Amino acid sequence: MHSPPYNLTNNIFSSLFDEEQIPSSSIVVNDIVNVDNWESKQFNNNNTTTTTINPSPVCIERYDYYESTEKWLLGVFALPFILCGLLANGMSILIFSNRHMRKQSVNWYLLVLGTSDFVILLGAFSVLTLPRLSEILVWWTGTAISYYVTPVFYALMTMAQTISVWMTVAMSLHRFIGVCFPYQSGRVLTARNVKGIIGGVILTAVLFNIFRFFEVTFEVCWMEPIGVELPVLRMTALRQNELYRKLFYEWAYTLIMFVVPFTVLIAVNSMVIGAIHKSRKIHAKLNVREGNGARKQELAKEISTSIMLVAIVIAFLLCNTLAFAVNLLEKLDFQGLLYIRLVPWSNWLVLCNASINICIYCIFSERYRALLFYYLRCFKRKGGGGDINNQNNIGFNGTSMSFL
């Protein structure tokens, strides 16, 4: 049995089963599929037979080791990114849930984005890194744990990915309205409407991916030549259904996770960048004049906030473009050596995207930095005292900070 080369955009399933290639879906999806495709081929090639061993039936399969580049990239090199990303997103969740940050509705998107990225990284460790690292360490218990939890984490990761993608889109649209239609934004971007959008994205993502829980199962088999029992990932009847695969993976997934969000993000943020350029010209004119201090400060905050959100989108597009390309290669049935080589790197880039937003927040958000340093000081003092809700403790007052 061989565990799949995952594609955080869909490649779990691509290597699991000996069937016509199944389209990709999410970071975890392709790994499951790839594992079973490979397993079935190896099972047939090695003339392995299923044997009944009393008192319970046990299948016998041949364990195949992970490809070297994939194993070291996702099993070792990705590990510090995942651990740092988990800490960074945990800190972002703490900071954006603080009452000072909750005053700005745009931070609600970032709170949900940090939570979804945390789930993606947690699932990536369990499904991608743990089995490869366990193979390197010859710790088969870790491999077994990974395969046991994969059916659940697979579904949770796909939900989190959908939420992450569309929360980025919603955040971009929010900023687009605020920058390009400032006079209408107060009426449109009310707290109630923003909560409705966020709730709608989460609910839609859950419903869109709910059947993922019923796509993967496992069977415990005796693995040769390593001489241990391990779970073997199997596709359920639902996942093998021709109509389901065609409608969901070939059409719905590609459109909802790639084509539509990429198109919207590029179009909307191009207009936001144009608006930022105009705002900079206005800001430059105000700098020449006297007596416009309040207006200049407000405009500077708006520009900084817009640039930060655009930077988040650019990072998202850069890190997910390769995953989009891998998805297209799969749709075109071009799954040769190039495809196999690109899958691990596309996974790694998705993991990077889920880990690096804290850097963008620290660069552009003074309030985020202030809260981050405050929490770090508290943790250094053994989880230390002090009320984070006390503005004097944090070291800023709410009116002098940027939106973020």
Q: Distance between CA 351 and CA 356 in Å, rounded?
A: 9
Task: Give the orientation angle of helix 260-288 with respect to helix 293-331, to 10 degrees.
Answer: 160
Res 31: pLDDT: 52
Strand order in the sheet with 216-224: 51-53, 56-62, 216-224, 228-235
C-alpha closest to that of 67 among 79, 55, 59, 75: 75
pLDDT in tens, 225-269: 999 999 999 999 999 999 999 899 888 999 999 999 999 999 999
Give me the domains of the chain, ranges plus CATH numbers: 29-400 (1.20.1070.10)
Res 358: pLDDT: 94
Longest dimension (CA), the chain: 90
Phi, psi of 97 (to 5 degrees): -90, -5
Res 20: pLDDT: 37
What does DSSP assign to residue 400? G
Residues in the chain, pLDDT under 70: 1-58, 282-296, 299, 382-404
